[in-house]
Amino acid sequence: MNELEIIDFPIQNWIKIIIILGTVLILFSRLYIGNRFQYLFSFWNIHRYFHYKSGETLSLFTTNNVIMFFLRILTTALFLFMLFRDRYLTNPKEFFIKLSIGLSVLILLKFITENMFSFIFKFKKKLTEVNRYRIGIKNLFAVHLYFFLLIMIFSDISLENIYTISFLLFVIYNIIYLKFILNKFLIKGVMALVYFILYICTFEIAPIIGVIYLVK
């Protein structure tokens, strides 16, 4: 029996390839960062991912972050495809490729825009510090999303329930993410908090809404 027969559209083979690629990327990450990888499975112990040993901190640009970037693109594109697949049954593979390219361009443009504003308004150092934690938490998100996708693909959960579960998980993820950043005392003072809220709305929430609007 084909393990993907529960997916009611003829794209089983390339979905398998994406899942295998995700598995390979996770294995590469595990081999590269060693025991630190275990902390990507828990929000409650995520600080150990950044400070695994005394005096050792996680850099912004690392091989593992590159690996996780590709994992995040693959899992997010596949996740969006699974949510909106009924609208693009005529050419599903092309839809997935467009999603992957669009997400990559969006992240690149966001990175360039953030750094441009940080240079103009002179908060480059603070942005680097925030990004170090933000990228680490999104690495965690990519790993969690991979396993959530396995549940979506291999279970018989209805699409309506997937929408509800996905929305709840998205809200919970962002609440914990924002709480983690604030608890690290990266945001100090009322004005800094206001700027941080504006930053979240502009560079985190708005792109997500834009992507969902386009695929719908």
169 within some domain: yes
pLDDT > 80? residue 31:
yes
Q: What is the number of domains present in the chain?
A: 1
**Which residue, among 64, 86, 76, 75, has the nearest Cα to 207 in the 3D structure?**
76
50 within some domain: yes
Q: Which domain holds residue 165?
A: 12-215
b/e sequence 66-87, b meaning 16+ C-beta within 10 Å: ebbbbbbbbbbbbbbbbbebee
Contact between 80 and 99 under an 8 Å Cβ cutoff? The reply is yes
7 within some domain: no
Model-level pTM?
A: 0.79
Contact between 143 and 72 under an 8 Å Cβ cutoff? The reply is no
Mean pLDDT of 172-191: 69
| Spatial CB neighbours of 121, under 8 Å, sequence gap ≥ 6 | none
58 within some domain: yes
| pLDDT one-digit tens code per residue, 32-71 | 888 888 877 776 667 677 765 544 455 667 888 899 999 9
46 within some domain: yes
5 within some domain: no
Work out whether the CA dihedral 47, 52, 55, 58 comes out positive or negative: negative
